[in-house]
Amino acid sequence: MSSVLLLEFNELSPRLMDRFIAEGHLPNFERLRSESATAITDPDESQDGLEPWIQWVTVHTGVARSDHRIEKLGEADRLTHTTIGQVVASAGGAVWLCGSMNLPARAAGDGRYLPDPWNPVCVPHPSSLRTYADFVRQNVQEHSNDSARMGLRQVASFAVHQIRHGLSRRTVRAVVTQLVAERRGRRGAWARASVLDRFQWDVFRWYWRHDKPRFASFFSNSTAHYQHVYWRNLEPDAFLHQPTAEQQRAYGDAILHGYRQMDVIIGEAFDLVEGTDTTLMLCTALSQQPYLQAEATGGKFVYRPNRFDTVIDALGIRMVEQVAPVMAEQFHLLFADEAAADAAATLLRGAAVDGRPAFAVRVVGTDVFTGCCIHDEVAPNAMLVGVGGAETPFHSLFYRSESAKSGYHHPDGIWWTRTGQRRDIAERVSLRSVAPTVLGLLDLEIPSSMTAAPVELSDPADGADR
């Protein structure tokens, strides 16, 4: 029976992919491209519409943002549309969704499900994945916060989980290599994100071999993170504010490092599907480009709370039931009722720094989605002023990201489907076409909510099989 393995490598750039392949850095990506129907996807959104976290919901549902209305991380449980996984599960097929962004557990039917690290409702299936999910969640959400370090007991529990669920020699070597490189000053802690990918790939592969799912997805965000933070170091001449020599030594190869680590996973994916009737598919949903618009002010910086409870107390916010950090400066405040959420939103909207609003705020029921909306340099003596006039030193509450943002979203996405021979689809393809195309490969009925046409992956002129 046919199956599909969807590799979701978030926001890889078509331009950088072509460059790195041409330079000989990515032999497995080169092989996949040479054996695939290749297309550039279009999210059917304006540039402003790319900033919400819409793209992977569209991939899995075949529905545009204007219909699914999932716009922020952590909103997965609001999804009502049918997903690829639900169709497969309803037809009796096994499903394994490994970290796919902004999808609820029901998107996998009764199959395997690992929530993305920014999901505030972290309930994986099976429950044995909880140890892994909690470890990765803390590392991803608080990777830049030196005050948020996990204890030895949690690390030990994670290690035992990995040993029991497919820990590979290659991953052990990657961990040792990374730690030695950090100690010797050859590579910074930033590269640990790629090591987390290795851990997740081991877990994914272990369950994939156990279940033989008809549909499986594996998500990675590490290289997207590198692009957001280190594009200035990849192409320094494009930026007005160029990195120092020390910064260039530290981060000059960060983005290429990410692509290379993903190239290794591509190679292992080939081995995984060898001898099976599994179609290997790569999708990036969006891509990135140099972020030059903020150069006049020295770049866009991100400020995150040192501790969420101190920010909440400083503003006088009450009745918070849960804090759920997401990417960059953003986080959810969850309340028991809408009155408490509205009261918190009023306090957040009224807070200011140097006469400027301090927070962006979005309220959906009992969920307040917020974060510091100041993205330039904040003076050392600046004060956060609350609605009642209470002042708190800004830098006692927030820390600044390690460097200015230098990559941002671009609508073009990579979509490669391995068919055995290369076919370049000339026209841009709607991102909504991915879901019905996957179901077509599986010979399953496409739900009426998926209105985009499946893409013809073979050239009708040559009569080749899909």
Domains of the chain by residue range = 3-292+407-441, 303-400
Tally the C-alpha atoms within 13 A of residue 94's C-alpha that lie toward its C-beta. Answer: 14
Instruction: Lay out the sheet containing 330-335: strands in order across.
Output: 320-325, 330-335, 367-372, 359-364
| 408 close to 340: Cβ distance less than 8 angstroms | no
Q: Is the pLDDT of residue 390 over 50?
A: yes
Q: Is the pLDDT of residue 83 over 50?
A: yes
pLDDT-above-90 percentage for the chain: 75
Give residues with Cβ within 8 angstroms of 255, minimum separation 6.
16, 223, 226, 227, 230, 231, 233, 234
CA 302 from centroid of its chain's CA atoms: 17
- Please give, one letter per residue, the 3-state secondary structure of the chain: CCEEEEEEECCCCHHHHHHHHHCCCCHHHHHHHHCEEEEEEECCCCCHHHCCCCHHHHHHHCCCHHHHCCCCCCCHHHCCCCCHHHHHHHCCCCEEEECCCCCCHHHHCCCEEECCCCCCCCCCECHHHHHHHHHHHHHHHCCCCCCCCCCHHHHHHHHHHHHHCCCCHHHHHHHHHHHHHHHCCCCCHHHHHHHHHHHHHHHHHHHHHHHCCCEEEEEECHHHHHHHHHHHHHCHHHCCCCCCHHHHHHHCCHHHHHHHHHHHHHHHHHHHHCCCCEEEEEECCCEEEECCCCHHHCCECCEEECCHHHHHHHHCCCCEEEEEECCCCEEEEEECCHHHHHHHHHHHHHCEECCEECEEEEEECCEEEEEECCCCCCCCCCEEECCCCCEEEHHHHEEECCCCECEEEECCEEEEEECCCCEECCCCEEHHHHHHHHHHHCCCCCCCCCCCCCCCCCCCCCCCCC
Greater model confidence, 241 or 225? 225
| 92 close to 210: Cβ distance less than 8 angstroms | no
Cis amide leading into 43 (omega within 30): no
Average pLDDT, the chain: 91
pLDDT of residue 466: 38
Compute the average pLDDT of residues 103-129: 89
Give phi and psi for 369, each to the nearest 5.
-100, 120
Compute the average pLDDT of residues 424-440: 96
User: Could you read off the pLDDT of 287-346 as tens digits, one per residue?
Assistant: 999 988 766 666 678 899 999 999 999 999 999 999 988 877 889 999 999 999 999 999
Please measure the distance between the N-terminal and C-terminal CA atoms of the chain and give it in whole angstroms. 15
What is the distance between the alpha carbons of residues 224 and 207, in angstroms, rounded to a whole number? 25
Q: C-alpha distances in angstroms, 305 versus 192, 222, 311, 356?
A: 22, 22, 7, 18
- In the block, residue with structure tokens 């097929």: 93
Q: Is the pLDDT of residue 350 over 90?
A: yes
Q: Is the pLDDT of residue 215 over 50?
A: yes
pLDDT of residue 464: 46
Radius of gyration of the chain (CA): 22
User: Could you read off the pLDDT of 244-274 as tens digits, one per residue?
Assistant: 899 999 999 999 999 999 999 999 999 999 9
Q: Is the pLDDT of residue 355 over 60?
A: yes
| 87 close to 439: Cβ distance less than 8 angstroms | yes
Compute the average pLDDT of residues 183-207: 94
The band of 285, judged by pLDDT with boundaries at 50, 70 and 90, is: very high
Instruction: For residue 257, give both structure tokens.
Output: 């490092």
Greater model confidence, 214 or 153? 214
pTM: 0.87
| Helices 192-211, 169-183: crossing angle, 10 deg rounding | 170
What pairs with residue 332 in β-bridges?
Answer: 324, 369
What pairs with residue 4 in β-bridges?
Answer: 215, 279
pLDDT of residue 460: 65
The band of 439, judged by pLDDT with boundaries at 50, 70 and 90, is: very high
Q: Is the pLDDT of residue 82 over 60?
A: yes
Nearest 5°: the CA angle 433, 465, 216 is 50
pLDDT of residue 465: 46
Instruction: For residue 115, give both structure tokens.
Output: 């929530």
CATH architecture entry for 3-292+407-441: 3-Layer(aba) Sandwich (3.40)
Q: Which of 143-157, 389-403, 442-456 has the lowest mean pLDDT?
A: 143-157
